[in-house]
Amino acid sequence: MSGAIVGLDHVQVAAPAGCEAEARRFYGAVLGLEEIVKPAVLAERGGVWFRAGAHELHVGVAAEFVPAAKAHPALRVSSRAELERLARVLDEVGADVTWADPAEIPGTTRFFVRDPWGNRIELIA
């Protein structure tokens, strides 16, 4: 089956019911992801979908929500300058930005932040 998997379509993070406004603020307004329309049958379940380049990030409603403390999406940022700008924006809105040790992955600069429900999110340049 070599070559059967050709890419990553989307990543989903979970959130509690009623998360849509905060998802739009955090992922849309703050991080700048483009919201995309969910299929009608799935829209009834709640949540919001976003596009990040050629990939998608889905915020899905979990009835018994527990934030992901370790598992996380890593969002690639176009440049170190943009990564630093996003860190400032996140700081301004009260998000706790934690920079990673650059020696961990040579040649990258990255930080972690929690979304409004406590899910771990990585941003990397």
How does pLDDT run across 53-100, given as a tens digit for each residue? 899 999 999 999 999 999 999 999 999 999 999 999 999 999 999 999
**pTM > 0.95: yes or no:** no
pLDDT, position 1: 56
At residue 7, does pLDDT exceed 80? yes
Which residues span the domain enclosing 84?
Answer: 10-124
Q: Is the Cβ–Cβ distance between 125 and 78 less than 8 Å?
A: yes
**40 lies in some domain:** yes
Domain count, the chain: 1
CA separation, residue 62 to residues 15, 17, 73 (Å): 6, 7, 17
**CA atoms lying within 13 Å on the CB side of residue 103:** 0
CATH number of the structural domain spanning residue 17: 3.10.180.10
Is 3 a member of any domain? no
88 belongs to a structural domain? yes
The 3-state DSSP class for residue 66 equals coil
Alpha-carbon torsion, ordered 67, 77, 45, 120, to 10 deg: 0
